[in-house]
Structure 1
């Protein structure tokens, strides 16, 4: 079986960050919005450094204004995921972008996204669940509103809660209320840490009681912390192509995912914001194959880890594990 044919599970995908550039350009043209400044001459997204990436990301998101826009986006994203062999994906969805953090508006967005996801599953065999995310650099008060949106729509489709955005802003503990609210609603918990902030941010994330950590790769700088992650079985949602594209590591061989895995830390592989970083799940697997010699058995192991860590019901989990083999 080729890398393209392997069934894949992705746990770390930002729905807006997965928007193909041509999709955003088409939507901008329909709405008469000039976004020419966020694209390179070849049509790809143009950014330099993480701060500018966030600015371009939010500019691209600005043309997504209605539930139907997000339904169209969901269909476009899942079409590309299916082409890369993805059978299950968890997409980060932010009420701040979908209805301005208001529960009533958020419900309409969630319904549209969930319906589009169900259609993609029926047509292409790629299931999707939503992980509601607050935006760290928007502050703790808006995070509370996002958590309430998540709690009010928790169920078959909305199954998790997390935090994205600039992890250099504030501390994880500033958002404890939001995570407690989501926990009480029965949602799985994850948060971004250990990407731009060091291992101390991963240690802070553990205090929130999360089951998974987005990125988390800077934990490798603290051997005692690596041991804690391994002992607790905290799963890292690792995005190698994203880390390399943003300059976190100079070359694939320098990426710590192989060392973390060897130390017993449960790791998974995802694309983060694939068109921004010129990647997809097939490219991620090829990168890891070249850098570390990982073959089909290792990728199957990673996908079983991802299936067990997925924020989904047990019936779906069993189906995913069966497809992985």
Structure 2
């Protein structure tokens, strides 16, 4: 990859970033008490063969996220790390039920994460919101609890909910009742869909009312689906590095960034899991530029292209308009 040193100065937005997949090694060791943990234990292997295998890397960080103190420290460490690459706004997502246990409920879990983020923001001045994830393998009751509790924290740090997990085993059609409840609660939502070659999962997610789609790679096979996403202004949260690791795509020329861009989709570029994928927003943007070249659609003005990606992120962020304007003003100063 070219160096593109100017990317260091670009104010960045990351809309798709999992807390438990983005903790640094020191934090995981401290939170788990396991000093023998190595980077290899936390990062996807070069021969990672599927999303299911990729998700196994979340197990160790989650061990340290089972108490209020652990969650607070995890969230604080996460946000402080983003200062290193000039991130101005992040929507960090996590699954509260993965930390819920007897005597430690969903509200307490969310409050601990919010507290850690607030502490870090006072130091690094990075803006943030939280997306609470339902998990595909959890029961309807568990996921409803997440949505209902998250709604109580809307405008207090939480901005939306999500559906994550093993997409291949649990298609979107199984969650129509869950997202009917989300609509009734009035909470916005994004859904992981199209990461495992299913166009139907993307279509179902959009029809259920998702404002954004996590990954959405499978849409490349369906022109009508791309048209539907464009017509409804659905944000597409692309995460290039992890998409190759989970085998959502195999080769660079297959990656649909250029196609989605040409079709007028609201494409954004995000990290997904900073630690598991050994990545950063800067690396993802560099990768996006290389992927445009691989698709034989090289970008003439790379700075303008990356600024436009950030504009798309601001436009599709789960934020009030006045906060979006503040971020646009910061971005406008970049030249």
TM > 0.5 fold call: yes
| Structure 2 counterpart of 1:72 | 73
Paired residue total: 318
| Farther-moved stretch of structure 1 (85-94 vs 308-317) | 308-317
Equivalent pair of 1:19/1:77 in contact (CA under 8 Å): yes
| Structure 2 counterpart of 1:305 | 312
| Structure 2 counterpart of 1:58 | 59
Question: Separation in 2 of the partners of 1:120 and 1:24?
Answer: 17
1:27 lines up with 2:31 in the alignment: yes
Correspondence list, 1:166-205, <5 A: 166-205=166-205
The structural deviation recorded for 1:34 is 8.5
Question: Separation in 2 of the partners of 1:258 and 1:101?
Answer: 48
- CA spacing shift, 1:21–1:114, aligned 2, 3 Å: same
Equivalent pair of 1:18/1:77 in contact (CA under 8 Å): yes
| Structure 2 counterpart of 1:319 | 326
- CA spacing shift, 1:100–1:309, aligned 2, 3 Å: farther
Correspondence list, 1:6-25, <5 A: 6-25=10-29
1:208 lines up with 2:215 in the alignment: no
- CA spacing shift, 1:46–1:220, aligned 2, 3 Å: closer
Equivalent pair of 1:82/1:124 in contact (CA under 8 Å): yes
Question: Separation in 2 of the partners of 1:25 and 1:252?
Answer: 35
Say which SS state the counterpart of residue 163 (structure 1) adopts.
strand
Question: Separation in 1 of the partners of 2:36 and 2:203?
Answer: 39
Correspondence list, 1:2-151, <5 A: 2-29=6-33, 36=37, 40=40, 44-45=42-43, 47=45, 48-49=48-49, 50-100=51-101, 105-151=105-151
- CA spacing shift, 1:141–1:172, aligned 2, 3 Å: farther
TM-score, structure 1 normalization: 0.90
Say which SS state the counterpart of residue 3 (structure 1) adopts.
helix
Equivalent pair of 1:117/1:127 in contact (CA under 8 Å): no
The structural deviation recorded for 1:35 is 7.3
Equivalent pair of 2:68/2:108 in contact (CA under 8 Å): yes
After superposition, the CA RMSD in angstroms is: 2.2
- CA spacing shift, 1:34–1:5, aligned 2, 3 Å: closer
Say which SS state the counterpart of residue 96 (structure 2) adopts.
coil
Question: Separation in 2 of the partners of 1:246 and 1:254?
Answer: 14
The structural deviation recorded for 1:211 is 0.7
Equivalent pair of 1:229/1:265 in contact (CA under 8 Å): yes
Equivalent pair of 1:154/1:185 in contact (CA under 8 Å): no
The structural deviation recorded for 1:46 is 5.2
Question: Separation in 1 of the partners of 2:286 and 2:58?
Answer: 26
5+ residue gaps, structure 1, are: none
Say which SS state the counterpart of residue 247 (structure 1) adopts.
coil
Equivalent pair of 2:269/2:288 in contact (CA under 8 Å): no
Say which SS state the counterpart of residue 201 (structure 1) adopts.
helix
The structural deviation recorded for 1:101 is 9.7
TM-score, structure 2 normalization: 0.87
The structural deviation recorded for 1:212 is 0.4
Say which SS state the counterpart of residue 88 (structure 2) adopts.
strand
The structural deviation recorded for 1:258 is 1.4
5+ residue gaps, structure 2, are: 293-297
Question: Separation in 2 of the partners of 1:27 and 1:124?
Answer: 22
